């Protein structure tokens, strides 16, 4: 494709006074990435990494949730921590989802959106809160909050006695990538005591929450958790409460979503049937945003074991035998584990590169989308995409730390060099929000798109944003 001569067209823009202001392009992520990379190649100066984010992919996740076996019953309280970009929050709010916030600033960010939800569309889902955060929730009218220990009850009694409390219980998370039970959740044996204390303090406990761990691999963990929640509902009865809320937390991934939601639906039929009148909410994070973000990085340096340097006579050495599992080439790119690839360290992810340019020429093949195996499976995406001539590469981040390794070994097409671009899909969850600027490397900016004029979801997203932008009600 010929590089554009003008700036990319802006299909929609909203609320210029608000930090959520974004320019929203109207093309597929693949087209947007290609357009920006092509412009960068022309300029030959700006090699900095960037994200392209497809808002319609977020809308599709909401649709997928609502069409699932639990979709009609379970309300989404999006886990803000996962990706708190104002544009993501704004779109989700317009789509009618609610929010799980874990801190005062997350609550304040959600409430100051141009499309701010009412405070009852927020649950403060952090069982161990600083006192000042509880006061902030009280001031802002955010009533629902979780607890899992006695000290939290005393704190809440003192600072916000009219809060609506949700008891976070411990469930089996042994098959999850990130095991949250190591830190949070009341073991069942402690629940009667906590509920008796809450009653004694005249606090209002309205229900039970759990989190099976982020990146849950075993649907039966959900079944077990719902069964445990039922037991705690019964304990609540004994303590004099009549709970009406079940919060099933997060942990969902697209690969296993159908299976998980079917198991949940069956468990609800058993333990919380429709006619029980129990309200059920969930706090999905990763499932909502992972596939929406693609990261584009450039190769800033490379190294080969046996590198011929043009015009320089090399001493003739016996060629060393390449150790098994070692790479032919080391690529250094401009994002690393101290930046958006912190998901490798904190979120136990394996990330998958695909070539955007080879030898300075744009590639034409788009990566498969969706689904990408987004966790815990090492695949060689370029091979899956049909590249035949490949070599073993290791991919490194830009900092001076050797821990900064993005992929230890992956088949990359031959012919890639310094200045070439590498794309990474499934980069929307727990990436940008936890990135540091260690060693002086900036966080990568995000370019937004509706997803492309041909996608029905994209048309809806564009119409929604445009309607909001021109609405006198906001
Ligand atoms: N809810 C709580 C309380 C969490 O701690 C988390 C993640 O850590 C989530 C929801 C979101 O989990 P996930 O992104 O796996 O859906």
CB atoms within 10 A of CB 3: 15
Q: 444 and 46 in contact (C-beta within 8 Å)?
A: no
Distance 140 CA to ligand 1 centre (A): 23
Q: What is the pLDDT of residues 301-317, one digit of tens each?
A: 999 976 666 666 666 55
Give the per-residue pLDDT at 196: 98
Distance 383 CA to ligand 1 centre (A): 33
Q: What is the pLDDT of residues 54-90, one digit of tens each?
A: 999 999 999 999 999 999 999 999 999 999 998 899 9
Give the per-residue pLDDT at 473: 43
Does the N-terminal peptide bond of residue 371 adopt cis geometry, omega within 30 degrees of 0?
A: yes
Closest CA to 453 of 27, 15, 91: 27
Strand partners, 288: none
Give the per-residue pLDDT at 46: 86
Residue-level length of the chain: 474
What are the C-alpha distances in Å from 72 to residues 284, 373, 374, 375?
A: 15, 27, 27, 28
Closest CA to 253 of 299, 284, 220: 284
Q: 163 and 146 in contact (C-beta within 8 Å)?
A: no
Give the per-residue pLDDT at 462: 83
Indicate the pTM of the whole model: 0.92
CA distance 148 to 152: 7
Q: Which atom of ligand 1 is nearest to the CA of 252?
A: 16
CA distance 25 to 458: 10
The predicted complex's ipTM stands at 0.99
Give the per-residue pLDDT at 179: 81
Residue 433: active-site member: no
* Pairing state between β 50-54 and 446-449: parallel
With a 6 A CB cut-off, is 250 part of the ligand 1 pocket? yes
Strand partners, 166: 146, 207
- The full set of domains in the chain, from first to last, is 41-54+290-307+325-449 (2.40.37.10), 84-284 (3.20.20.10)
With a 6 A CB cut-off, is 251 part of the ligand 1 pocket? yes
Distance 76 CA to ligand 1 centre (A): 12
Low-confidence ranges of the chain (pLDDT < 70): 1-22, 306-324, 368-377, 469-474
Give the per-residue pLDDT at 11: 35
Give the per-residue pLDDT at 472: 47
Give the per-residue pLDDT at 105: 96
Of 250, 288, 430, 433, best ligand 1 pocket probe by most atoms within 8 Å of the beta carbon: 250
Q: In this structure, which residue's CA is closest to atom 3 in ligand 1?
A: 125
With a 6 A CB cut-off, is 213 part of the ligand 1 pocket? no
Q: In this structure, which residue's CA is closest to atom 9 in ligand 1?
A: 250
Sign of CA dihedral 106, 107, 113, 118: positive
Distant-in-sequence, close-in-space partners of 218: CB < 8 Å, separation ≥ 6: 175, 176
- Active-site residue (options: 178, 400, 405, 433): 400
**Residue in the block written with tokens 């090399």:** 314
């Amino acid at each position: 494709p010929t590089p554009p001569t003008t700036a990319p067209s802006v299909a929609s823009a909203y609320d210029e006074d608000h930090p959520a202001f974004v320019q929203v392009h109207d093309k597929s992520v693949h087209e947007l990435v290609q357009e920006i990379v092509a412009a960068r190649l022309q300029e030959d100066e700006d090699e900095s990494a960037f994200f392209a984010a497809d808002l319609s992919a977020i809308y599709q996740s909401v649709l997928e949730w609502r069409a699932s076996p639990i979709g009609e019953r379970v309300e989404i309280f999006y886990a803000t921590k996962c990706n708190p970009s104002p544009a993501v929050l704004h779109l989700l709010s317009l789509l009618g989802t609610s929010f799980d916030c874990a801190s005062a600033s997350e609550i304040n960010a959600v409430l100051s959106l141009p499309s701010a939800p009412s405070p009852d569309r927020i649950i403060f889902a952090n069982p161990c809160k600083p006192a000042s955060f509880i006061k902030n929730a009280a001031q802002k009218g955010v009533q629902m909050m979780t607890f899992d220990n006695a000290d939290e009850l005393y704190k809440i009694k003192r600072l916000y006695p009219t809060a609506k409390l949700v008891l976070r219980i411990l469930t089996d998370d042994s098959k999850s990538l990130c095991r949250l039970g190591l830190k949070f959740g009341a073991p069942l044996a402690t629940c009667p005591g906590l509920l008796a204390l809450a009653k004694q303090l005249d606090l209002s406990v309205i229900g039970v929450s759990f989190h099976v761990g982020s990146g849950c691999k075993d649907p039966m963990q959900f079944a077990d958790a719902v069964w445990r929640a039922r037991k705690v509902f019964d304990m609540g009865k004994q303590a004099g409460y009549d709970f009406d809320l079940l919060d099933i937390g997060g942990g969902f991934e697209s690969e296993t979503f159908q299976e998980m939601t079917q198991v949940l639906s069956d468990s609800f039929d058993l333990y919380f049937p429709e006619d029980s009148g129990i309200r059920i909410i969930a706090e999905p994070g990763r499932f909502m945003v992972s596939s929406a973000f693609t990261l584009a990085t450039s190769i800033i340096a490379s190294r080969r074991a046996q590198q011929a340097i043009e015009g320089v006579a090399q001493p003739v050495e016996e060629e060393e035998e390449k150790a098994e599992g070692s790479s032919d080439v080391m690529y250094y790119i401009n994002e690393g584990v101290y930046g958006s690839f912190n998901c490798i360290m904190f979120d136990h992810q394996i990330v998958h590169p695909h070539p955007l340019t080879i030898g300075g020429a744009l590639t034409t093949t788009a990566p498969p989308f969706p689904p990408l195996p987004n966790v815990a499976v090492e695949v060689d995406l370029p091979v899956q995409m049909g590249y035949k001539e490949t070599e073993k590469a290791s991919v490194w981040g830009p900092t001076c730390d050797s821990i900064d390794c993005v992929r230890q070994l992956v088949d990359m097409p031959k012919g890639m060099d310094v200045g070439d671009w590498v794309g990474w899909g499934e980069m929307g969850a727990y990436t940008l929000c936890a990135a540091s600027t260690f060693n002086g490397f900036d966080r990568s900016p995000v370019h937004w798109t509706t997803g492309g004029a041909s996608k029905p979801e994209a048309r809806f997203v564009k119409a929604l944003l445009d309607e909001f932008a021109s609405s006198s009600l906001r």
